[in-house]
């Protein structure tokens, strides 16, 4: 008895070929495959869950429209992250012009039970970190998130951002330093400590 054939799911490259021909099913499959990564990345960059959802959807729409120009280089997710970063950058530029402030994530309050205290503290800490990251300049924020959270190498980030590896290292270092300055008072119980929500 022969073993049933296990079909390998189509690769990103194969799906993109079909998307270029207008295959919506292939496109939906790509969206399903990468949506969590894109939304998570955008949430880290923006500090705003709702905004990340909206920009995430727009990211995939741009991918669809740019399908003809897309040149397969083996890493669609990097391409998606680049689109997402550019979308966020454009939006932040517009907001600076209109003097709008981006909302921050505010963790909800847990009810007062001893077992929930630890969860509350953890969510408080996450909120502080998220807010601090969202306030970093974008040129530090992007490489820091890609390296520390998404796990990209300096080489990959440099290739993606079109700069030298040394520049990436420098920006990650400065981003880390600025975060430390913002978070240290909170962590060490200094005067700048504050709660959110």
Partner 1 sequence: MEDHRIGDLLRELPRERARAGFTPRVLERLDSRGTGRPALSWRPAAVLAAMALAVAIPIGIRYEQHERSEREAERILHELRAEHGRLEQELQEISEPVLYLGGDEDVDLVLDLSRVPEAGQAAPAAYHDDKL
Q: What is the contact surface with partner 1 in residues (CB under 8 A)?
A: 24, 27-28, 31-32, 35-36, 38-40, 43-44, 49, 52-53, 56-58, 60-61, 64, 94, 125-126, 129-130, 133, 144-145, 148-149, 176, 179-180, 183-184, 187-188
Nearer to partner 1, 160 or 178 (CB): 178
Q: Give the nearest distance from C-beta 3 to partner 1 in angstroms.
A: 32
What is each CA distance from 67 to 8, 53, 55, 62, 148, in whole angstroms? 23, 21, 18, 8, 30
* CB-CB contact of 12 with 31 (8 Å): no
Q: Which is nearer to partner 1, 64 or 75 (CB)?
A: 64
For partner 1, the closer CB: 3 or 69:
69
Closest approach of partner 1 to the CB of residue 42, in Å: 8
CB closer to partner 1, 109 vs 187 = 187
Nearest to 51 by CA among 42, 59, 38, 63: 42
Which of residues 187 and 193 has its CB atom nearest to partner 1 in the complex?
A: 187
Residue 62 beta carbon to partner 1: minimum distance, rounded to whole angstroms: 11
For partner 1, which is the closer residue by CB, 110 or 125? 125
* In the complex, minimum distance from the CB of residue 122 to partner 1, in angstroms, rounded to a whole number: 8
Long-range Cβ contacts of 131-137 (<8 Å, 24+ apart): 131/47, 131/104, 131/105, 131/196, 132/179, 132/182, 132/183, 133/44, 133/45, 133/47, 133/179, 134/45, 134/46, 134/47, 134/48, 134/102, 134/104, 134/105, 135/47, 135/182, 136/175, 136/178, 136/179
User: How is residue 145 written in tokens?
Assistant: 């998130």
Closest contact distance (angstroms) between CB of 103 and partner 1 is: 15
Smallest distance from partner 1 to CB 114, Å: 22
């Amino acid at each position: 008895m022969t073993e049933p054939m296990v079909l390998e799911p189509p690769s990103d490259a194969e799906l993109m070929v079909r998307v270029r021909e207008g295959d919506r099913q292939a496109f939906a499959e790509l969206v399903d495959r990468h949506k969590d990564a894109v939304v998570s990345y955008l949430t880290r960059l923006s500090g705003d869950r709702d905004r990340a959802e909206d920009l995430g959807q727009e990211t995939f729409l741009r991918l669809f429209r740019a399908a003809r120009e897309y040149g397969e280089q083996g890493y669609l997710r990097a391409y998606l992250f680049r689109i997402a970063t550019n979308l966020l950058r454009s939006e932040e530029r517009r907001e600076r012009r209109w003097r709008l402030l981006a909302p921050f994530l505010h963790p909800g309050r847990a009810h007062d039970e001893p077992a929930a205290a630890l969860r509350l503290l953890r969510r408080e800490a996450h909120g502080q970190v998220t807010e601090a990251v969202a306030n970093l300049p974008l040129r530090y924020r992007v490489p820091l998130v890609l390296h520390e959270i998404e796990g990209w190498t300096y080489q990959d980030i440099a290739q993606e951002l079109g700069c030298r590896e040394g520049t990436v290292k420098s920006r990650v270092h400065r981003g880390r330093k600025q975060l430390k300055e913002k978070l240290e008072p909170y962590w060490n119980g200094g005067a700048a400590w504050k709660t959110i929500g």
